[in-house]
Each structure stands twice: as structure tokens, then as C-alpha cells.
Amino acid sequence: MNDVKGGLRADAQANRDRILEVARETLTATSDASLNSIAKAAGVGPGTLYRHFPTREALVAGVYRKEIDALVALAPALVEAHPPLEAFRLWCDRLAHYGRMKHALADALHAAMTAGNLQEGYLPMVGAIDHLLRACEASGDFQPGANAEDILLLLGFLWRLPAGEVGEARGERLIELIIHGLG
Amino acid sequence: MNDVKGGLRADAQANRDRILEVARETLTATSDASLNSIAKAAGVGPGTLYRHFPTREALVAGVYRKEIDALVALAPALVEAHPPLEAFRLWCDRLAHYGRMKHALADALHAAMTAGNLQEGYLPMVGAIDHLLRACEASGDFQPGANAEDILLLLGFLWRLPAGEVGEARGERLIELIIHGLG
DNA sequence: ACCTGAACACCGTTCAAGT
DNA sequence: ACCTGAACACCGTTCAAGT
């Protein structure tokens, strides 16, 4: 659905790209900007935006696609380059920091979780966490049996941190608490 | 602001009560019901609802007022009646279960937290948790230094549990994990 | 095959006019 | 002192008409 190389006509593809670009800028500034205003800013009719992204979630997911992919790909890389527990910590830090539309992403992920349908971006995310968890279990840092979906749910607090203090002491304190709980 | 015994005229008080009653029913069924529809269902003009509850948050807080108060009052009672760790567990369970408008309440609490202003209901909530934490520290179940605001933030996952499984194994698993992390 | 943009029903919010 | 309800600007969404 987010195929960049899909069979889209050239103009459609251009519109899609422009919409995503404008959406990123706009939603970063004001995470509850209206879809119509994004369409107008992108120079397309509302119907066009709606065709490409039938729902607000779909638009947010589209914007985040690359960052989510990067985050997912990062997990195995970290495990190879660092001791498992260190890898887990680093991944959590990255999760906490990337982007400023965190709230919108959190909602999208939550919707994907509660909807029960395995929406794009969610399953790989769980997979990434699972990868880290198993590494930490193998090294003996975590007790076996932890569920990746559970941990993603728990890590959701990262997006509810007051705006100013992302990555500050508070987030790290709570990540440490979760790690301690897993040990 | 939520004074029931305040200087409200009789008709105003009656309107207020009816609005809260209708809001509870409506929001329990559909947590994103429009304010106008609530006003209409309560038989008042939109302006009247707006006067009593200038914001959606205010309305949600109004509905939850009593339950929040009960939750806050429960903390010391539990500490007196049970061993501290048990009290903490029971309070978390209660937090997870009460009401079905959890999502709306979560948003209101979150708004209160991020706004930084000590909105009604939030501070007492933190106080209740603090009471439990200190008891658990005194008994040696928890290590000292845990921050009540942090723990409320972490417990926020309870409201993002998929609809069906409140109070199910998953919630308890994660509460246990937090407890273990605090130990 | 894709886009435009008017149109629809609705939203939150305000405010003159009533009692 | 409080309420009503019309009004405003806007929202998400649809769909005929265009190219």
C-alpha cells in the first residue's frame, strides 16, 4: 500500500510524495492539523489526499514509514554490535527520540494494536522488540518469557512524557525500571 | 469548580447534574461523542453545556470526579487493611477496572500532566500513589526513591489495553513487571 | 487512471436575545 | 443569573465532472 515503486502513474506518485512531505512538516508543527488543510497546503484537492490515504492513521503511517523501517532494522544491528542489554537500552533511547510527531505515532500504533488487525508497521515493530528480548534472555540479562507486545505497550509511556523532557532523566529512569523488572 | 454545594441556582444545578448523567452514559458508550450531541440529549443548549464545562476535559473530569475521589481515598484504606505490597497491587487492579471511559480519563490525566498546571484530580491521584509507594518502601518491598508521577505515567498502559482484556492476564503481568522493577 | 472542487452533514464555539 | 438556539468557521468525507 505504501509501495513507492508501485504501478502509480507519474503524476499520482508526485502528488503522493508532496502530500507526505507537507504532512510531515505540518503534523510536526501541529499534530492535530486537519486533513483538509494538509491537502490545501500540498496543492491537491481533499479527494486526492483521501484517495492516497483513506484515513488519518494511514497518512501518519505513511509519513513515519521510513523511520519505522529504520527502527526495525536497527534492532538486529544493535544486537550484533553491542552486548544485548546495552542494545536494548540503546533501542529504547532511539524509540524515545525519533521524530516529534510522537503522539500521532503512538495513536497510530495503539490503533493498530487494539484493532487486532496486523497493520503495517506494527508487526515489524513487535518483531524488533522480540529480537532484542530474546538476545537479552540468551545472555541471561532478562528472565525468559517476556512478551514483545507487552513491552511495546509498556514503552508507550515514552510518548506521553511532557514535551520538554524527552530523553531526559525521567524517561531513562523509567526505562531502567522496566529493565530491572525484566531481570 | 466542581462544587456541588456551590452557589449555583437551583435550575443551574439541575442542568449540571443532568449533563453529567447524560455525559456518563453517552461517553461510556462512545468515548468520542460530540459535545453538541450530549447537550441535546441532556435537553440543554450547547451554550449551557459550554458554560458548565468549558472544555471536553472539564466534562470528563466532572463525570469522573467521584470515582477519582474514591480511588484516592482508597489508597490509605488499603494500606491500613493489607500488607503494603498487597495494597499496591489491589490499588492497581482497581485503577485498571474502574469505569469504561478509561480512554477519555487517560487523556484528561495526560493533559493535566503535560499542561504542567496542577489540574483537579491529578494531584490527589499522585498523592494516592505516593502513599502506597512509601508504605512499600517502609516495608522493604520497594527500593526507596520511586517517584509517584513516574509510576502513574507508567501505569498509563492500563488504558491502552485492547478493549476486551481489561483485568486479564496481560494487565496483571505488566503490573507484576513494574512491581518487580520497583523491588 | 487520476484529479478537482463543490457539496453534505456535522463539529466546537460564540453571543445576542430572552426569562 | 442563567438559558436558548441561531450563527460562524471549520471539519471529514463523498462524488459528479473533468482531463
Is the predicted pLDDT of residue B85 greater than 80, yes or no? yes
Confidence of residue A124 (pLDDT cuts 50, 70, 90): confident
Same-domain status, B75 and B18: no
A164 touches chain B (CB under 8 A): no
Nucleotide nearest to A49 (CA to C1'): C3
Q: Shortest CA distance to A59 belongs to which of A14, A113, A28, A19? A: A19
Contact B178 A177 (CB under 8 A): yes
pTM of the predicted model as reported, rounded to 2 decimal places: 0.78
CA A23 to each of CA A9, A49, A95: distance values in angstroms, whole numbers, following the listed order: 21, 10, 21
Q: Shortest CA distance to A125 belongs to which of A79, A74, A167, A176? A: A74
* Percent of chain B surpassing pLDDT 90: 50
Could you give the number of structural domains in chain A? 2
B110 touches chain A (CB under 8 A): yes
Same-domain status, B50 and B74: no
Q: Which of A133, A143, A174 to mutate to test the interface with B (most CBs of B within 10 A)?
A: A174
- Element of type H or E holding B20: helix B10-29
Same-domain status, B14 and B72: no
Nucleotide nearest to B32 (CA to C1'): C11
Is the predicted pLDDT of residue A169 greater than 90, yes or no? no
Same-domain status, B125 and B167: yes
Is the predicted pLDDT of residue A109 greater than 70, yes or no? no
Q: What is the CATH number of the domain that holds A164?
A: 1.10.357.10
Range of the domain at B127: 56-182
Same-domain status, A47 and A67: no
Same-domain status, A30 and A68: no
Same-domain status, A70 and A84: yes
Q: Considering B54, B73, B95, which residue would you say is the last residue of a domain?
A: B54
CB burial string A152-183: b at 16+ within 10 A, e below: bbbbbbbbbbeeeeeeeebbeebbebbbebbe
Same-domain status, B60 and B116: yes
d(CA A136, CA A141): 5
B12 touches chain A (CB under 8 A): no
Contact A150 B174 (CB under 8 A): yes
Beta-carbon contacts of residue B71 (< 8 Å; ≥ 6 apart)? B91, B94, B95, B98, B125, B128
More confident residue, A96 or B135: B135
- Residues B150-172: what's their mean pLDDT? 77
pLDDT tens by residue, B116-147: 444 556 777 888 899 999 999 999 999 999 99
Confidence at residue B110, expressed as pLDDT on a 0 to 100 scale = 66
Same-domain status, A133 and A171: yes
Q: Considering B31, B54, B77, which residue would you say is the last residue of a domain?
A: B54
Confidence of residue B99 (pLDDT cuts 50, 70, 90): very low
| E strands present in A7-155 | none
Q: Identify the residue whose cell numbers are 455525559.
A: B23
Same-domain status, A12 and A89: no
Is the predicted pLDDT of residue A99 greater than 70, yes or no? no
Lowest mean pLDDT among A26-30, A85-89, A104-108, B49-53: A104-108
d(CA A20, CA B164): 34
Residue A63 in grid coordinates? 509519513
Q: Considering B36, B54, B72, which residue would you say is the last residue of a domain?
A: B54
| Range of A31-35, B37-41, B162-166 with top mean pLDDT | B37-41
- Residues B164-180: what's their mean pLDDT? 82
- Residues B152-180: what's their mean pLDDT? 81
Q: What is the CATH number of the domain that holds A25?
A: 1.10.10.60
